Amino acid sequence: MYTVGLTGGIASGKTTVSDLFTEMGAGVVDADVAARKVVEPGQSALAEIADVFGPDVLDERGELNRRALRERVFADEQARKKLEAILHPAIREYMAGWIARLESEGAPYCIRVVPLLVETGQQHDVDRVLVVDVPRETQVTRVVMRDGGSDAQADQILATQASREERLAVADDVIQNTGEIGELKAQVELLHQQYLTLSSG
């Protein structure tokens, strides 16, 4: 199935863009949704996380205690790598099943929303890369408005992600998300037509 990797920094508007593609009839799979699904109770990834990190990363309902896990891996590079070794294959497998389901339902092509597409080298796993781009100052303002906190905290988050330049360097297509929703929709509509053509070729 023809697949477009959609990425962008924090608060760039990836969800808004992917929702517009969904409205136009594209198949959309989202790595963040997959990441939540694979750690639901009863999933093998959750059992493995509890085995590796201990039962205190689960809450009283047997669900993942995200804060406890975050505290365990935040300052420990080895622990973070162990967690990624559990999560990344599980997320990829979940997304592959999701894409297969969309294909069987007749979706013309698939938008794969992966916030860390560039950071994890997944730009090589898709047919095209679409970057939702905004200036850094806009990101900082949006993060502060959305999550509270300070400019400095927003800067810290941005420092852990690929730079705007790194993302744009691998982009086949770029959506500028600095205007009104109407402008955004027009850009998505153009790309949707382009992807329909590419996927049927």
Tabulate helix, strand, coil % of the chain (nearest 5).
Answer: 60, 10, 30
d(CA 14, CA 175): 10
Asked if 167 and 71 sit in the same domain, the reply is no
What is the pLDDT, as a whole number, of residue 87? 93
- Among 68, 88, 107, the domain boundary falls at 107
For the chain, the domain total comes to 2
- Choose among 101, 125, 82, 98: nearest CA to 34: 98
| Structure tokens, 83 | 């967690």
Q: What is the per-residue pLDDT across 78-87, written as a single tens digit (0 to 9) for each? A: 998 999 899 9
CATH of the domain at 188: 3.40.50.300
Give average pLDDT by consecutive 10-residue segment, the chain, 201 residues.
Answer: 94 93 97 94 94 93 90 85 92 94 96 92 94 89 83 80 89 94 96 97 75
| Contact indicator for 38, 158 with CB cutoff of 8 Å | no
pTM to 2 decimal places: 0.86
What is the pLDDT, as a whole number, of residue 120? 85
Asked if 98 and 155 sit in the same domain, the reply is no
Alpha-carbon distance values, 167 to 7, 9, 53, 117, 130 (Å): 8, 9, 33, 9, 9
Asked if 102 and 117 sit in the same domain, the reply is no
CA atoms within 13 A on the CB side of 194: 15
- Choose among 125, 127, 53: nearest CA to 85: 53
- Among 73, 107, 141, the domain boundary falls at 107
Asked if 18 and 114 sit in the same domain, the reply is yes
The residue segments making up the domain with residue 47 are 34-107
What is the pLDDT, as a whole number, of residue 63? 94
Asked if 113 and 191 sit in the same domain, the reply is yes
Asked if 128 and 175 sit in the same domain, the reply is yes
Asked if 161 and 195 sit in the same domain, the reply is yes
